[in-house]
Chains A and B, each alone.
Chain A
Amino acid sequence: MRLTLHVWRQSGPNTAGKLETYPMDGVEADMSFLEMFDMLNDKLTLEGKEPIAFAHDCREGICGSCNMMISGQAHGPWKGATTCQLHMRAFKDGDEIWVEPWRAKAFPMVKDLVVDRSAFDRIIQAGGYVSVNTGGARDANEILIGKEVVDESMDAAACIGCGACVAACPNASASLFTGAKITHLGLLPQGQPERDRRALAMVEQMDIEGFGHCTLTGECQEACPKEISIDVIKRMNRDYAVAAVRYVEPKETAGAG
């Protein structure tokens, strides 16, 4: 099929960018969206032009690298799929497609379609873990967790950290991402000791990074390639509110002796 692509080109963080138009011919329905980009990049290379930089790696929807805003939709028109899983049969001959990077203050521009999502790592650093050192864990079956609980926890844990939720949100909020981790760990018995501290620290870090606030528009769950429910934000808000009331910083007293 023939398509017309309009792709955001920007050589670096401090230069101006613009949409460039590339007519495409010979695109096959069985190609993935990124394989179409491979084809375009090969063509640009042979014409002596610089290929388009874009993030990708596993190409099976799990590493969370790929991130294209495709005609205004994060990861394009297929629900529950990443950019790399989108196939060209989603389009028809003659279509015009606009491809842009994730746009959010907390995701600074790197080049073309690549942005810096390290803010997500810093949100995890703030408390997205269970503090257990290696060794000394008790037998795994001593912790009983009901199937329903672990299933709900897994629904949230499925987050791939791609940032589509932020890109789709009119406020560029990271609440779905943050709420997913708070829910994954907060549902499990292992996550209880640090539950309050985690909610407070992760939400605070989200603000520090410059993400916007959640106004429950629900765009995030529509864009999420893992279809994580907006319920995780409800849980985050609840955990945050409870923690804000009851959490007391531990006293700085060391053990005697």
Chain B
Amino acid sequence: MIELNSNIPAGPVEQKWDKHRFDMKLVNPANKRKYDVIVVGAGLAGASAAATMAELGYNVSCFVFHDSPRRAHSIAAQGGINAAKNYQNDGDSVQRLFYDTVKGGDFRAREANVYRLAQVSVNIIDQCVAQGVPFAREYGGLLANRSFGGAQVSRTFYARGQTGQQLLLGAYQALERQIALGKVKMHTHAEMLDVVVVDGRARGIVVRNLLTGEVTAHSADAVVLATGGYGNVFFLSTNAMYANVTAAWRAHKKGAAFANPCYTQIHPTCIPVSGEHQSKLTLMSESLRNDGRVWVPKKQGDNRAPSQIPESERDYFLERKYPSFGNLAPRDIASRAAKEACDDGRGVGPGGLGVYLDFAESIKRLGQKTISERYGNLFDMYQRITDENPYQLPMRIYPAVHYTMGGTWVDYNLMSTVPGLHVIGEANFSDHGANRLGASALMQGLADGYFVLPYTIGNYLAGVKPEKVDVTTHPAFTDAVRAVKAQGEQLLNIKGKRTVDSFHKELGKIMWDKCGMARSREGLQEALVEIPKLREEFWRNVNVPGSGASLNQSLEKAGRVADYLELGELMCRDALHREESCGGHFRVEYQEDGEAKRNDEEFAYVAAWEWTGDGQPQRLHKEPLVYENVKMATRSYK
């Protein structure tokens, strides 16, 4: 049985990280090169961690399933990255970023982690600028900022609508530099399919080469997963097509507890679904809400063109309901408000599943040129997809799955319940509670990779001897390789009648209907019957063409969908057990005037689920959440 120990250092929250950095053991420079570290994934968290650890002197091997470490989905983050720089002199501080994040997460995040995140946020901007990240600037040469949801200060740094791209290229270039120096061994087209645990410690991974089908084992003194979130369990999400839960899920099955799986973020501003053929959804950055106003007609079923609807007949519902934050209400709240308007029959566009995001007023006030400078690439993207010109017509938007706050449980040192297995970035659960604020994902990924893990992993490695394991003979490795090969064979040999995608779509529909924006006891109970049934059919009736000995994208996908079919069940179980509403988790039974109603007495804890074997329900462990610095209160953005 696992034990949860958050290892939060003692002392006042402002001093915890400084004190911990001093208390942690160090590995001296000459010894660092004796330690091997495996990093899986090269998004913001993975690339920054791999580069930084290599700079420190560790031998790093980095594995990605892409053809290059520049392709991870961090690259698609549009709007920006938060940091408590207070460059705008508008009252920001580490304390305020900390407070906003804890409140934004609806009091379900760990205080100590969040405080540390706010502290190192300022270093991230310095580091990225030093690397040459071209953040937006004012004419005088100083850095520019914009506002994001859930904050009343302007603390978001950005590079047009391509902030994630520029930050990732910064980390990627640092990583390529270390590859050139021989300190990082890069493995592309390598999909991690298992973690290998030896004597209770994570000692390596098993990967499949996606081009040749070859399955190989790799050993190290510590393993780091930076493998992103699991939003694609819904089939339709803003995530990239390849983003998946497999690495984290296989680690879960090897003993890493999975925390708060039901905390998923539904982003309010995405382009609505256009038809059955849809393969993914496209986000329109939250930054648009700086200048765009969200509205629906006041009348139900009002089919007039938006320009024909006079001001007096429009409901700017976010401004009406949340006057002090207005259009910059946090994502969970804005999404729910949009859903409410559509459920009320006032949605716009095909099927009534959309609300307007209108720039007419801003264009009048600031001119089209300014709007185009700020959001040009997003407007172009919108027009390509919808064939409508957002400079002339309001955008139509609808909420879509975007991010997962849940993930592998980690302690303050970012280590999972498997010693030696560290998890960073979106893949862990630690900093965002039940709802993530906009522009905080980039901050967390880079905080973990540049400034937290490189310290904390030293503390772990200092306590273990650098020893090699022979991957060709050690039974833990040979067994894992055999199991991975066997699963591939099994999938290829089913030769059923349904495509992998058809299963994925069906699962996604169950998840969206029953574990999406609104969840009910009844719906979740139904899903808990439907998902195991679908999983059973998958293993009997899936059709995976081709062979395992070359590039086979259907086989890759089949393995991922197999894991979603298990994860989806756990998400529903977690959502069912959490009999309260908080952040992105909205249970229809628990609400007050349409707002989420938390139950702090019974549910102020992290739910960490332990794998207990195939077909068995996971075992629940609870990490109590203690708030010493921020008073727990009903979140209000009114």
Q: Which residues of A contact B (CB under 8 A)?
A: 11-12, 28, 30-32, 34-35, 38-39, 42, 44-46, 48-51, 53, 55-65, 78, 80-81, 85, 87, 89, 110-111, 114, 116-118, 120-121, 124-126, 128-135, 137-141, 143-147, 150, 153-154, 157-158, 160-161, 184-185, 188, 190-191
Which chain A residues border B87 with CB–CB below 8 Å?
141
B532 to chain A, nearest CB (A): 25
Whether B550 pairs with A57 at a CB distance below 8 angstroms is no
Partner of A63, one of B52, B76, B132: B76
Partner of B240, one of A11, A58, A129: A58
B contact residues, range: 35 or more
Give chain B interface residues in 115-137, CB to chain A under 8 Å: 123, 125-132, 134-137
Partner of A118, one of B52, B169, B188: B188
Interface residue? B477 (CB, 8 A) = no
Whether B176 pairs with A35 at a CB distance below 8 angstroms is no
Whether A42 pairs with B501 at a CB distance below 8 angstroms is yes
Whether B499 pairs with A45 at a CB distance below 8 angstroms is yes
CA distance A64 to B180 in the complex (A): 22
Whether B85 pairs with A133 at a CB distance below 8 angstroms is no
Give chain B interface residues in 261-305, CB to chain A under 8 Å: 274-275, 277-280, 282-283
Which chain B residues border A117 with CB–CB below 8 Å?
67-68
Partner of B141, one of A118, A130, A132, A146: A146
CA distance A35 to B142 in the complex (A): 43
Given contacts A58-B75, A121-B70, contact A184 B125 (CB under 8 A): no
Whether A42 pairs with B499 at a CB distance below 8 angstroms is yes
A254 to chain B, nearest CB (A): 17
Give chain B interface residues in 346-397, CB to chain A under 8 Å: 380-381, 384-385, 387
Partner of A144, one of B72, B141, B159, B179: B141
Give chain B interface residues in 160-191, CB to chain A under 8 Å: 160, 162, 165-166, 169, 172-174, 176-177, 179-180, 186, 188
Whether B211 pairs with A110 at a CB distance below 8 angstroms is yes
Q: Which residues of B contact A (CB under 8 A)?
A: 48, 51-52, 55, 66-73, 75-76, 85, 87, 123, 125-132, 134-143, 159-160, 162, 165-166, 169, 172-174, 176-177, 179-180, 186, 188, 211, 240-242, 274-275, 277-280, 282-283, 380-381, 384-385, 387, 450-451, 454, 497, 499, 501, 543, 545-546, 550-551, 553-554
Given contacts A143-B129, A147-B138, contact A58 B387 (CB under 8 A): no
CA distance A135 to B131 in the complex (A): 11
CA distance A153 to B126 in the complex (A): 18
A211 to chain B, nearest CB (A): 16
Whether B126 pairs with A132 at a CB distance below 8 angstroms is no
CA distance A24 to B579 in the complex (A): 49
Which chain A residues border B135 with CB–CB below 8 Å?
140, 150
Given contacts A45-B499, A145-B137, contact A55 B67 (CB under 8 A): yes
